[in-house]
A and B are shown apart, each in its own frame.
Chain A
């Protein structure tokens, strides 16, 4: 059981990185929108995680994307941050429920899942674009990029989420 869990996560990691760098980094929708679907990895990752390991994996995921897209370590910084914030966000969205043993993402309502994903995406994009542009004088540009890229990421993540949903029992 645990073995297949590792296996699924390794496959997911590899596929998401490849899809991100080979397809979505080249999308350039309207000239600048490149959705970052690899965030789904952090959304799908098991709830009962070992936090330090989860942080490490988040860092590696970001680094793997950086490796391909010449963005220094920007993806790594923003991904490790949302990996760190994930428990806080989950407590905010799902309430105390999520600390119970029987908690499953698939048992929550659609609205909760979308809020959870949206918060992850917004946090990630704000950090990513502020670091990338790195000047407050371009605040509008940052906000524009967060808004447009963020909504594209959210829509695509939701589509992917329903395409490859974890089987419900």
Chain B
């Protein structure tokens, strides 16, 4: 017994080190699963408050650019609106609304790590929930992963864990969008069969398989494609429409029918 005690006292530093390292690795490994650890994310109130304070100062510096981007988006929407056939009355039926949209601002952006998370200034208080989609005026950005009362951490498409259903515009060939961590303006589209005719410059949009994003949200254009190792599928480099390094105003999308879709899918799986 005394020998054990002596041993512990003698190696207390090493044992403490082992313990702390083990704790750190446990947190890391545990959060490699889909639902990450509740504690280590920038959406908690403390880091969220610090980030939103710093963002409220730094956002003044690119106010001009942000305004220009918003005016551009407005112009585009006005063009759509004015060119659509004029109706003298519009029927608003709440049972036919499929998506709700909430504006939000990014308070912390990141794009240099293999797993990037973006923090936005909306949380549970604004009824932001896990697995809601986040887009910008130009294209998709990511999926809400974890929320606190006032903030939410968004898993960016620049994240090795991210897989998003995407397709080639005006066709129904779909694949999944992943990221190989090499460049922050290029993501990869996989599992497009080789019989599909492709051209460099084709537009990639979100697919209909996703219960998170509406169909046809722009993602990017084909930059380069080649066949994968098995020679039966393409591996496509997609150049993003979004400049991931310079983002401020985003929209959080909720698919109102998502619970129903999920329930249906789980019923199939249970059979």
Given contact pairs A52-B12, A55-B16, A59-B20, A70 touches B51 in the complex (Cβ within 8 A): no
Which residues 76-118 in B have Cβ within 8 Å of A in the complex?
108-117
**Contact between B23 and A73, CB atoms less than 8 A apart:** yes
| Total count of chain A residues near the partner, CB < 8 A | 36
A25 to B50, CA, bound (A): 14
Query: Within 8 Å of chain B (Cβ to Cβ): is A44?
Result: no
**Contact between A73 and B47, CB atoms less than 8 A apart:** no
Complex interface: chain A residues within 8 A of B28 (CB): 72-74, 77, 131
Given contact pairs A28-B111, A67-B44, A72 touches B21 in the complex (Cβ within 8 A): no
**Contact between A80 and B114, CB atoms less than 8 A apart:** no
Instruction: With CB as the reference atom, state the residue of chain A lying closest to B111.
Output: A28
Query: Within 8 Å of chain A (Cβ to Cβ): is B37?
Result: yes
**Contact between A72 and B111, CB atoms less than 8 A apart:** no
- Label chain B's interface by main secondary structure: mixed
Complex interface: chain A residues within 8 A of B12 (CB): 52
Query: Within 8 Å of chain B (Cβ to Cβ): is A43?
Result: no
A141 to B182, CA, bound (A): 9
**Contact between B112 and A76, CB atoms less than 8 A apart:** no
A62 to B28, CA, bound (A): 13
Which residues 21-68 in B have Cβ within 8 Å of A in the complex?
21, 23-25, 27-28, 31-32, 36-37, 39-42, 44, 46-47, 50-51, 54
Complex interface: chain B residues within 8 A of A51 (CB): 13
Complex interface: chain A residues within 8 A of B115 (CB): 70-71, 132
Q: How far is the CB of B135 from chain A (nearest CB, A)?
A: 20
Given contact pairs A73-B23, A73-B27, A68 touches B16 in the complex (Cβ within 8 A): no
* A-B residue pair count with CB separations less than 8 angstroms: 101
Query: Within 8 Å of chain A (Cβ to Cβ): is B153?
Result: yes
| Total count of chain B residues near the partner, CB < 8 A | 42
Q: How far is the CB of B60 from chain A (nearest CB, A)?
A: 15
Query: Within 8 Å of chain B (Cβ to Cβ): is A81?
Result: yes
A1 to B52, CA, bound (A): 37
Per-position 1/0 for A44-85, Cβ under 8 A of B: 000000011001100100110011111111101100110110
**Contact between B41 and A70, CB atoms less than 8 A apart:** yes
Query: Within 8 Å of chain A (Cβ to Cβ): is B245?
Result: yes
Q: How far is the CB of B47 from chain A (nearest CB, A)?
A: 5
Complex interface: chain A residues within 8 A of B108 (CB): 68
**Contact between A68 and B42, CB atoms less than 8 A apart:** yes
Contact surface of B with A, Cβ cutoff 8 Å: 12-14, 16-17, 20-21, 23-25, 27-28, 31-32, 36-37, 39-42, 44, 46-47, 50-51, 54, 108-117, 119, 153, 181, 183-184, 245
Across the A-B interface, the 3 shortest Cβ-Cβ residue pairs: A77-B24, A73-B27, A70-B117
